[in-house]
Amino acid sequence: MATFVLVPGGWHGSWSFEAVVPLLERAGHAVHALTLTGLRPDDDDATVATANLDTHAGDVLSLLDRARVTSATLVGHSYGGMVIAAAADRADGRVSRLVHLDAYVPRDGESCWSSTTERYREAFVAGAATTGYAVRPPDGGDPRRRPHPLASFLQAIRLTGPPAQVPRREFVYCSGWEDRTPFAGLRSRLHADPGWQVHDLPTGHDAMREAPEAVAALLLGERVANAPAHGRRTCH
């Protein structure tokens, strides 16, 4: 039995994985979907203002402690890729697999801000104009989304090496929004790195909501139907 810890991206909560969780549980695995500090409905302004990347990595580590997890699969979507990298760096070997689901894969000293495109940096600035510390969700989308702590997008990650020592590291590239994705260059970088498995899914960014069965199958190590068959993509 595996233990999955699912970390949402910007503005989202545990609900973003609501269609994937039962599929993993039905297969006999333990699943923990997180809502990060500052994104919870009852978080006050001070909590949102002070939450950063370190805070969010701490959320993951606290879960590992509470649940006494010694071999976790961390799954991070979008901004959540920053979080799982930071958490794995501090987890003392308790992470056996990293899955970056259309997510940032940072190197030491990088941030979500530095890793994304100018389009998204402009969106962060515009979204934080009202408060100066919380980035409002982009227009449209799920009404459950909440303003996201700006500090977590800006803080540079500090990595000492452990994420590179996680035995299984995977990147999932969602190819259905190639006109806007900030991850095309990242896919090329990891495609050339023998330490990574690169998977392609023909979905938009929110793959876990658009195609939960395909995401669950990938996490369970099953073949993903209708996935493009090119490059080093390993959907099996």
Model pLDDT for residues 27-41, shown as the tens digit of each residue: 999 999 999 999 999
Strand order in the sheet with 95-101: 30-33, 3-7, 72-77, 95-101, 168-174, 197-201
Beta-strand (E) ranges in 35-188?
Answer: 72-77, 95-101, 134-135, 148-149, 168-174
How high is the pLDDT of residue 225?
54
Q: Does 213 score more than 60 pLDDT? A: yes
Contact assessment for residue 5 and residue 80, using Cβ atoms and an 8 Å cutoff = no
Burial class (CB in 10 A: 0-12, 13-18, 19+), 30: middle
Q: pTM score, two decimals?
A: 0.94
Return mean pLDDT, the chain: 94
> In the structure encoding, which two tokens stand for residue 231, read together?
């490059």
**What domains are there in the chain, each with its CATH number?**
3-219 (3.40.50.1820)
If we measure between CA atoms, which residue out of 106, 184, 100, 215 comes closest to residue 152? Answer: 106
Model pLDDT for residues 149-173, shown as the tens digit of each residue: 999 999 999 999 888 899 999 999 9
What are the residue ranges of helices labelled H in 155-229?
Answer: 162-165, 184-191, 207-210, 212-219
If we measure between CA atoms, which residue out of 103, 225, 224, 230 comes closest to residue 172? Answer: 103
- Judging by DSSP bridges, how do beta strands 168-174 and 95-101 pair with one another? parallel
